[in-house]
Amino acid sequence: MGRALHGWRDRIAPGTVGLPAGGVRRAVGLRREELAQLAALSVDYITRLEQGRATSPSPQVLASLARALRLSADESAYLHRLAGQPEPGPGHVSSHIPPGLRRLLDQLAGAPLSVHDAAWNLVEWNRQWAALFGDPSALRGRERNIVWRHFAGRTGRVRQTSEQRAAFEAATVADLRAATARYPADPELRSLVRDLRSASAVFAELWDSGIVGTHASGSKSVDHPEVGTLSLDCDVLVAAGSDLRVVAYTAAPGSEAAERLRLLGVIGTQAMN
């Protein structure tokens, strides 16, 4: 596993994953700390994996590594076999991003984009998205799930009217219920729903209503600490054959929000003096 991870790390140029390539570099491709950042893991854990001192990575860790290293489906399956874990099957929620979708995301750098799996776990984002909502690299586990964050009261920079909030809650619960029908054997999905029902009376009421549907579009107001409030359209696109959700945020051309998005593209995640 260590040799495989090191080889996959060597073939990725930092610039292709949005990282600066400047300075003196001994690594051919990604440094260990860069892979750790992309996979939301510690540098020490990456080191232990490559040195053979961590021998039982979980399926969640393997999925994070596969995304960060941009592995193909066959490579991801090989990684799971090396780790002694069952390969992701059709009955489980997948976070694998196909090469075609990856190229599309790389070419649409001008708009804030995020990618979520069928359970609404955040699996990918671009620089513009991080500039708009804040860098999520440090988030772990459930903190990367937008349904969990919403019903737990962690709305971050998003500001919603009561109507917008109700519509978002109904749409995401309906979408999550549809996901449980497609992936009835996925233990992480079942655990998420069980914990949400215990944590939120609103979620439990919506879930027990039997609502089914998809979360397709809406509008959001984002309070950014540097550029102010942006009123944006939010569209959810389902990638054919993958069940991934690509969420795109756009503003009308010539609008104040469009100008503020352009400014975010310049300042990134920096704080202005």
Per-residue pLDDT tens digits for 163-187: 888 989 999 999 999 899 888 888 8
Mean of the per-residue pLDDT values for the chain? Answer: 86
The answer on pLDDT for 271 being more than 80 is no
For residue 29, the model assigns a pLDDT of 87
Residue pair 79/1 in contact (Cβ under 8 Å)? The answer is yes
Q: Which residue, among 63, 61, 75, 156, has the nearest Cα to 117 in the 3D structure?
A: 63
For residue 89, the model assigns a pLDDT of 65
The answer on pLDDT for 120 being more than 90 is yes
What integer is the mean pLDDT of 229-242? 86
For residue 64, the model assigns a pLDDT of 84
Q: Beta 217-224 vs 113-116: how paired, if at all?
A: unpaired
Of the pLDDT bands very low, low, confident and very high (cuts 50, 70, 90), residue 237 is confident
Q: Which residue has the higher pLDDT, 234 or 22?
A: 234
The answer on pLDDT for 215 being more than 60 is yes
Number of Cβ within 10 Å of residue 225's Cβ equals: 9
For residue 273, the model assigns a pLDDT of 42
For residue 269, the model assigns a pLDDT of 64
Reported pTM:
0.76
| Domains assigned to the chain | 2-82 (1.10.260.40), 99-267 (3.30.450.180)
